[in-house]
Amino acid sequence: MDLQIEGKVALVTGGSRGLGKQCAISLAKEGVNVAICGRSKESLDETVEELNAFEGTAIGIQTDISISEALNKLPSIVNSKLGPIDILVNNVGGSLSREDIQKTSIEDFKATFDLNLFGSFALMKAVIPHMSEQKWGRIINIASIWGRENGGNISYMSAKAALIGATKNTAISLAKDGILVNSIAPGSIEHPGGSWERFQNENPQDVVENFIETNLPMGKFGWPEPVGDVVAFLSSERASLITGACIVVDGGQSHSMI
């Protein structure tokens, strides 16, 4: 299937490893010119080398988007090296607190929103003018099934729910401008250096097996490639009627029917 996005320019935040890396790979396979950002120069260089095996051009930008000054400079850096951003994948996320409300400080709660929501919000605002001018653009925000239903800690769950809400509202407001805005809600996806790999390494085998039996209908953790391929599809002309959606990629893990 020709996704008709060859030559487009994409920015993938947190694109040097895990889900972000796979999103970048899936886009690069379609001939997209991809900029990835991350904090580790070593992992950025390794991923850029992989991406450059495909037809498009890839660059890595060492930065920390939790720092406002660095975040604000990011779009202009991409523009100067590859051109204006046509496709934005907001993948950076995580939680600074893994506790319930009684043990979570307001500072950590706010910081988790900074990481998952406000950085994505700022980058969306930065890329919209170019997308509106050309009447074409794609924005994909990586959320979580735990932004759709109960799960995880209060900070992460709340921030991802807010990201899904912001995605829907933005999609409606930009629909007539040719800009499609969607979110993806992955389930428990295992990848090197990720939280689910740590979960398996840090817990007894019976705890891991019980989690899988109780929560994962496929009998195993998810893997990054399906998430990346959904991102590539949502970035394409083939997805031209999909906007404001939150697409679940979780092997049946979540319970919500919505």
Per-residue pLDDT tens over the stretch 66-109: 888 999 999 999 999 999 999 999 999 988 788 899 999 999 99
User: What pLDDT shows up at residue 125?
Assistant: 97
Q: In sequence order, which residues have a C-beta less than 8 Å from that of residue 96 and are 6 or more positions away?
A: 108, 111, 112, 115, 155
User: What pLDDT shows up at residue 219?
Assistant: 96
User: What pLDDT shows up at residue 61?
Assistant: 97
Helix (H, G, I), strand (E, B) or coil at 44: helix
d(CA 123, CA 90): 8
d(CA 234, CA 42): 29
User: What pLDDT shows up at residue 182?
Assistant: 98
In which residue ranges of the chain is pLDDT below 50? Answer: none
CATH match of 9-187+222-249 with 3.40.50.1820: no
Query: What are 109's two structure tokens?
Result: 């709660």
Catalytic residue among 118, 146, 156, 233: 156
CB atoms within 10 A of CB 8: 24
User: What pLDDT shows up at residue 102?
Assistant: 95
163 is annotated as an active-site residue = no
In the chain, where are the structural domains located? 9-187+222-249
User: What pLDDT shows up at residue 226?
Assistant: 98
User: What pLDDT shows up at residue 119?
Assistant: 94
Over the chain, what is the mean pLDDT? 95
Residue 29 DSSP label:
T
Query: What are 63's two structure tokens?
Result: 């930065």
User: What pLDDT shows up at residue 94?
Assistant: 87
